[in-house]
Amino acid sequence: MIPWEEIDRAEVPGGEGEIILRKRGTEFSIRAATTELMNSRLHGSEDALAELTCSRIKRKSDQRILIGGLGMGYTLAAALQHSGDDSLITVAELIPAVIRWNREHFGHLAGKPLDDGRVSIQQEDVAETIRRKKSTWDAILLDVDNGPDGLTRKANDRIYGMNGLKNAFFALRTGGMLSIWSSGVDEQFTHRLKQCQFQTEIVTVRARKLGKGARHTIWLATKS
């Protein structure tokens, strides 16, 4: 068994701990203190987040898509694959090192999606990106932390609370979709989405392609 090698570590802004980048052969892993946030071998549900969303976006040209956060870029790569040549995709990533690691260490694994001319990357909290603009996005894809039950960053709870969901609702164009990745189901969160007038569909996806691996949850919430 090839041992893990530590490549780098970085602070999470706001003094909320640090994340560690490790490598084992061709495999990369990003860890927080007690848990693995991302592993390059497992991205079936990250891909599905974009595939499910893009197949449902009503507007077929000039799509404006917001993704938070970048991680290893698999959701971004799938969104690029499933949207048009005239789409524009903004990625909001909180941790500067994650953007740098994509450029320097593992971007090739997802096909270097940051190099695509349709992509712009902003180093900021996606809650701010959402709050700043009204009626702008055809889709907002959220895969920050562990889902509505934030694990690594307490401040992320505000994205999934009532105010955060209302901000997302106003940031979407009519017919737009808010899509959220989660490691598990959360009935209170579904209830909050409905309270915010979203039409909500819940899909269970597997961590690996071909229906294998852990079960993850994706909410597809439409501003109708």
Ligand X SMILES: C[S@@+](CC[C@H](N)C(=O)[O-])C[C@H]1O[C@@H](n2cnc3c(N)ncnc32)[C@H](O)[C@@H]1O
- Tell me, by CB under 6 A, how many residues bind ligand X: 25
Residue 92 near ligand X by CB under 6 A: yes
70 Cβ neighbours under 8 A, 6+ residues apart: 76, 91, 93, 98, 99, 102, 114, 121
Smallest distance from the beta carbon of 214 to ligand X, in angstroms?
13
Between 94 and 140, CB nearer to ligand X: 94
3-state secondary structure of 154: helix
Q: Which residues, numbered 163-222, are part of the site for ligand X (CB under 6 A)? A: none
Whose CA is closest to 20, among 38, 41, 2, 3? 38
Smallest distance from the beta carbon of 47 to ligand X, in angstroms?
7
Q: Which residue is nearest to ligand X (CB)?
A: 71
Smallest distance from the beta carbon of 174 to ligand X, in angstroms?
25
Residue 75 near ligand X by CB under 6 A: yes
Smallest distance from the beta carbon of 128 to ligand X, in angstroms?
8
Smallest distance from the beta carbon of 159 to ligand X, in angstroms?
6
Whose CA is closest to 67, among 146, 155, 166, 137? 137
Residue 94 near ligand X by CB under 6 A: yes
Q: Six-digit token pair at 167? A: 């901000």
Stretch that binds ligand X, among 65-73, 80-88, 165-173, 203-211 (CB under 6 A): 65-73
CA–CA dist 163, 112 (Å, integer):
34
Binding mask 141-160 for ligand X (x = CB under 6 A): --xxx-------x--x----
Residue 64 near ligand X by CB under 6 A: no
Stretch that binds ligand X, among 37-45, 80-88, 168-176, 192-200 (CB under 6 A): 37-45
**Element containing residue 90 per DSSP (H, E):** strand 88-93
Answer for the pair 124, 100: CB distance below 8 angstroms, yes or no: no
Residue 109 near ligand X by CB under 6 A: no
Instruction: Please state the separation of Cα 102 from the chain's center in Å.
Output: 15
What residues does 24 pair with on adjacent strands? 27
